């Protein structure tokens, strides 16, 4: 049987990413030309062509500016999920601020699409050992699943040794929450992040494909992520450190054709549907 994998998009714009947080003040976001709408539509057109449904983790800030885009995502049959409101790293926030903006963002999205928003993904996967308390707040806010834990070592995110397959986790306060961790592959003794984004642009396509096939060969679905700005090589350039610019701009021009190949090589559905097929999604 062919395994259905989760295709996900983190809907935010090119100037909101964590790599540029030192160069771009949040108070200046309004002064940047928006490109998220056009790029998200382009992704949806590609998904239509490939007859694929995806999960869109939408930033509340974007939803506030583009309500019609969020309605369109839902009307085209995709899942609308939550990417927080302000794209601040959770471990830099207080619990109170995190709770307030998460609840606000979920209600905003539900008000727009008029269906329950079940899934959550943290800005830059910032649920780490220092911010596991966020899982309690997600469960209390009524989310059914989280997809923020990256079982790798990285300067900004990651929980080394975290479980690598979708599962029900116990939050620190004892709630149950479904976790769909970002996918990794084993290469020799090394855990290789293989789930999309910058890794998808950095690695040769055949390495990504081999890693993802490895996950499927264990009879497990993978979860793949991309950002609308990653298919937009013409986006305005932002002045930042060499390393941040490399991470953000590397191989943008190759991303769209690689995504097309990916959608031919694997089967995809929304994260919620994939969890459903694993028996992890109980309609609540």
How far from the centroid of its chain's Cα atoms is residue 22's Cα? 21
123 vs 281, which CB is nearer to Zn ion?
123
Q: Is 10 in the site for Zn ion (CB under 5 A)?
A: yes
Q: Tell the residue number behind the tokens 């207080």, with chain if given.
A: 94
Nearest residue (CB) to Zn ion, 123 versus 215: 123
Count of residues that bind Zn ion according to CB under 5 A? 3
CB of 212 to Zn ion, least distance (A): 21
Considering only residues 98 through 127, tell me which ones interact with Zn ion, judged by CB under 5 A.
123
- Strands 176-179 and 167-170, bridge-based pairing: antiparallel
Q: Residue 33 has what DSSP assignment? A: P
Shortest Å, Cβ 211 to Zn ion: 22
Residue number, 10 or 164, with CB nearest to Zn ion:
10
Least Cα distance to 41 among 9, 17, 16 occurs for 9
The residue with its CB nearest to Zn ion is 10
230 part of the interface to Zn ion, by CB under 5 A = no
Nearest to 84 by CA among 20, 167, 147: 147
User: In this structure, how many other beta carbons lie within 10 angstroms of the beta carbon of residue 70?
Assistant: 22
State which of positions 149-178 bind Zn ion (CB under 5 A).
none
CA dihedral angle for residue 273, residue 274, residue 277, residue 278, rounded to 10 degrees: -140
Shortest Cβ 82–Zn ion spacing (Å)? 11
Residues 51-90: x where in contact with Zn ion by CB under 5 A, - otherwise, as a string:
----------------------------------------
Q: Which of 4-12, 111-119, 240-248, 263-271 is the region at the interface with Zn ion (rule: CB under 5 A)?
A: 4-12
| Nearest alpha carbon to residue 111 among 123, 100, 103 | 103
H-helix or E-strand spanning residue 186:
strand 184-187
Site for Zn ion in 129-148 (CB under 5 A): none
């Amino acid at each position: 049987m062919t395994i259905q994998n989760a295709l996900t998009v983190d809907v935010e714009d090119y100037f909101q990413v964590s790599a540029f947080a030192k160069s771009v003040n949040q108070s200046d976001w309004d002064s940047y030309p928006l490109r998220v709408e056009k790029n998200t539509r382009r992704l949806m057109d590609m998904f239509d062509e490939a007859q694929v449904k995806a999960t869109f983790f939408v930033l509340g800030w974007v939803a506030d500016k583009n309500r019609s885009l969020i309605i369109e995502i839902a009307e085209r049959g995709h899942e609308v999920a939550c990417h927080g409101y302000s794209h601040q790293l959770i471990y830099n926030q207080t619990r109170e601020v995190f709770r307030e903006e998460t609840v606000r963002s979920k209600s905003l999205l539900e008000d727009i699409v008029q269906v329950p928003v079940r899934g959550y993904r943290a800005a830059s996967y910032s649920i780490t050992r220092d911010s596991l308390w966020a899982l309690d707040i997600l469960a209390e806010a009524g989310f059914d699943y989280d997809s923020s834990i990256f079982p790798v070592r990285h300067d900004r995110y990651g929980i080394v040794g975290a479980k690598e397959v979708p599962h029900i986790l116990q939050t620190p306060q004892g709630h149950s929450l479904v976790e769909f961790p970002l996918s990794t592959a084993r290469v020799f003794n090394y855990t290789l992040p293989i789930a999309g984004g910058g890794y998808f642009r950095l690695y040769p396509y055949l390495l990504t494909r081999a890693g993802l096939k490895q996950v499927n060969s264990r009879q497990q679905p993978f979860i793949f992520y991309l950002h609308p700005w990653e298919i937009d090589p013409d986006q305005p350039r932002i002045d930042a450190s060499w390393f941040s610019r490399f991470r953000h701009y590397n191989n943008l021009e190759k991303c769209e054709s690689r995504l097309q190949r990916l959608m031919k090589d694997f089967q995809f559905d929304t994260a919620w549907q994939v969890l459903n097929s694993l028996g992890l999604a109980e309609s609540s």
